[in-house]
Amino acid sequence: MFNRIKAIAKKEFKQLSRDKRMLFVIFFFPVFLLVMFGYAVNFDVKHIKLAVYDKSGAFESREFIKTFSGTPYFNIVQYIHNDKEINNILDTKKAQIILIVPEDFSENLFSMKKDNKVQFLIDGVDGNTAMIIKNYVDAAVNHFNQAFQANQLAKAGKKSSALINLEPVFWFNPDLDTTKFLIPGLIAMILIITAAITVSLSLVREKEKGTIEQINVSSIKTIELLLGKSLPYLLIALINAAFILIAGFILFGIVIKGSYLLLLLSILIFLSSAVALGIFISTVSDSQQVAFSFATFATLLPSLILSGFVFPIDNMPFIIQIFTNITPVKFFIVAIRAIILKGVGLEAFWDQLLYLCLFTTVFLTLAFIVQKKKEMNA
């Protein structure tokens, strides 16, 4: 049995080595996707375009404006001189937010009036970005308030004191960098796409060339054929995983905090599930075009939408949360984020690896049943 599996794997390696274009796609495509998604998919909102309408013109209003211009989150792109310019700036997207400082800003500030209102007009077309901008504005205004009150108390010879000092500490991702959160999920998505597509195309190619009939009448068993055809691509997927992790470290500073051995084990189990999905797709497809389309649809969309890669599963409706179990990426993302970002041990995600093993078993069984039925009908 092992000799036959070895012979099939060796044949697949030789056939793959002759296909230079496929080799280029297999090794270049994953790193290309990592670079493109890693830089493009980012939820950090910085360099917000800010327009300023300072009706006061006093020293205090200029200091208030500096609170925004002195951070990497806001870029002052224009100063407004009359009310007529306001609508045009937001309509043409010259700015995402407009700050309007009233004429009596300085007087109200020194008189400690509670109704000293400053207006912010925010482009609310993108609700998520608008809420992030509002939070940045709240933080900047609070910072100015505290600094001004402390300065006034110091002039009066008093010290400011707070009853509660808030000191938030962010574990695992202190800088709240969304790239570090997204890269592990991106690794999972890339691996399942490349593994499932290459395995399914490899098996369907035998059908298109007519060599599958020769294999069927030989002494090779179905399980031996599937293993022999899958092992080369499993090895290639492991190499791709190493390339992606190295590229992630070089380009995005992603450091593996946990066990390398545990990461290798998790990747192997995940790739087994991806290969099982590819094998199943190959059994229900009769051409490489159908297999490619089916594999892309079965891996890309679920990995992007239903895995927790971008959208938190806990925020989805209960029915959709059940539906998310169709993709193994959901379980692998939990494991790889735990290893890379948190550096925890197996006790934190062993159940996710168990789900992946179950996923592999189910799809291999389905592929075996479909293949047997086709052989009987033939």
pLDDT band at 163 (very low <50, low <70, confident <90, very high): low
pLDDT for 330 equals 93
Q: Are 284 and 200 in contact (CB under 8 A)?
A: no
Q: What is the mean pLDDT of residues 26-37?
A: 80
| Residue 164: per-residue pLDDT | 61
The phi and psi torsions of 310 (rounded to 5 degrees) equal -115, -45
Question: At residue 352, does pLDDT exceed 90?
Answer: yes
Answer whether residue 210 shows pLDDT above 70: no
Q: How far apart are CA 328 and CA 319, in angstroms?
A: 18
- Which residue has better confidence, 22 or 287? 287
pLDDT score, position 259:
92
Residue 213: per-residue pLDDT:
56
73-99 pLDDT tens trace:
899 999 998 888 888 888 888 999 999
Q: Is the pLDDT of residue 115 over 80?
A: no
Is residue 115 classed as helix, strand or coil in its secondary structure? coil
DSSP H helical segments within the chain, as ranges? 2-18, 20-40, 59-69, 84-91, 105-110, 127-155, 178-209, 211-216, 222-252, 260-284, 288-301, 318-323, 329-337, 350-377
Cβ neighbours of residue 43 closer than 8 Å, sequence gap 6 or more: 128, 178
The domains found in the chain, sorted by start residue, are 2-42+177-377 (no CATH), 48-155 (3.40.1710.10)
| Predicted pLDDT of residue 273 | 93
Averaged pLDDT, 195-223? 72
Mean pLDDT value of segment 150-168: 68
pLDDT score of 159: 67
> What pLDDT was estimated at residue 329?
93
Q: pTM value?
A: 0.78
Q: Taking residues 101-114, what's their average pLDDT?
A: 78
Share of the chain above pLDDT 70, in %: 92
- In DSSP terms, which residues pair with 100 in a beta bridge? 53, 119
pLDDT for the residue numbered 335: 94
- Checking if the pLDDT of 234 tops 90, the result is no
pLDDT tens digits along 241-300 = 888 888 888 888 888 999 999 999 999 999 999 999 998 998 888 888 888 899 989 898
Predicted confidence at residue 262, as pLDDT, reads 94
pLDDT category at 350 given cuts 50, 70, 90 is very high
Q: What is the pLDDT at residue 28?
A: 81
Query: Higher pLDDT residue, 198 or 29?
Result: 198
Task: Assess whether pLDDT exceeds 70 at residue 165.
Answer: no
Q: How confident is the model at residue 339 (pLDDT cuts 50, 70, 90)?
A: very high
Q: Record the tokens describing residue 83, joined without a space.
A: 């009310």
The pLDDT of residue 254 is 85
Residue with tokens 């375009």: 49
Tell me the average pLDDT across 356-374: 87
- pLDDT mean over 43-65: 87
Share of the chain above pLDDT 90, in %: 21
pLDDT at 332: 94
- Cα atoms in the Cβ-side hemisphere of radius 13 Å centred on 283: 23
* Average pLDDT value over all residues in the chain: 84
Q: What is the mean pLDDT of residues 163-181?
A: 75
